[in-house]
Amino acid sequence: MKSNTVAAEASQSIKEKILDQIPTPVMAVDKNFHMMYLNRNALEMLDKDYSKVLGCNCFDIVHSTHCKTDRCCMRKALETGMPYSDRTELDTAHGKAQVAYYAVPLTDDSGEFIGGLEFAVDITEQVQYEERLREQNQTIRLMSTPTIKLWDGILVLPVVGVIDSLRAQNMMETMLNRIVETYSKVIILDIQGVAAVDTAVANHIIKITKATKLIGCECILSGISPAVAQTIINLGIDMNAIKTKSTLSDALSEALSIINLEVTPKQ
């Protein structure tokens, strides 16, 4: 019996040493959220003493944006017996950190459900990189859809290069937002710099012209190349309700006429 006890204690010691060598925070709680175990990395991250956290409620020791909320993965794991994962912001001894954490049900040697095990991975640098990437993508989208105010009530969106479905959608969002911001009555969509479009993008362009009308703005399509014109015709789209001009200059003259302005040569 004594040898079995010694073996069990040795086995437990080995398990704890293994968990201490894992380079991420690990904690275990019972079914009432009482701390049963924290590995060395978790204690260092929280700057806590092992003897002082045992038996405490985990949400009194670990402070994250999910604690005491329905988003807490540990809460969901204890309630359902299923594993859960999510991202959260965590208070550490060195400041706030973004972490991805995982909670799973914890069972004893006999398979009885006794609590939950949770481990976390610091993803602060990854989240910062993702944020920078989103900002860069937003900048690129704005640069690719430079809606310019030519006159009070007149906007122009010169489009150059390849248009795919995503860019066409961004164009629509940018145009509609800019129209609302500037109270514009006319917007010129100049696609002279577009060599060709597929049928999906051609449909997007037509949708853009129709969407502007819904918010009280006239859209003039200018600079349509022969290839683009052929694609639109092949779609069988009725262009009678859409204003088109061959050049940006003609489109501007039409826009000025719509808002009752006329450019006359200086005498």
Note whether 190 and 218 are within 8 A (CB).
no
Confidence of residue 69 (pLDDT cuts 50, 70, 90): very high
Q: Which of 97, 128, 159 is the last residue of a domain?
A: 128
Identify the residue with better confidence: 204 or 153: 153
Own/partner pairs, 249-254, CB within 8 angstroms, 24+ separation: 250/222, 251/156, 251/188, 251/190, 251/220, 251/221, 251/222, 252/150, 252/154, 252/156, 252/188, 254/220
Q: What CATH number has the domain bearing residue 107? A: 3.30.450.20
Q: Report the C-alpha gap between 37 and 40 in whole angstroms.
A: 10
Domain containing 160 equals: 142-258
Task: Please tell me whether residues 157 and 55 are part of one structural domain.
Answer: no
**Tens digits of per-residue pLDDT, 8-66?**
444 566 666 777 777 888 999 999 999 999 998 888 888 888 888 889 999 998 899 99
CA dihedral 228, 234, 236, 239 (to 10 degrees): 20
Residue 80, pLDDT score:
93
**Tens digits of per-residue pLDDT, 155-203?**
998 887 777 777 778 888 888 998 999 999 999 998 888 777 777 777 7
**Tens digits of per-residue pLDDT, 118-149?**
999 999 888 888 888 777 666 555 555 678 88
Residue 133 lies in a domain: no
The pTM of this model reads 0.52
Task: Please tell me whether residues 187 and 118 are part of one structural domain.
Answer: no
Size (the chain), residues: 267
Residue 134 lies in a domain: no
Residue 265 lies in a domain: no
Ramachandran quadrant class, 91 (left: phi over 0; alpha: psi -120 to 50; beta: rest): beta
Identify the residue with better confidence: 267 or 185: 185
* Of 259, 200, 192, 261, residue with least CA distance to 235: 200
Note whether 27 and 120 are within 8 A (CB).
no
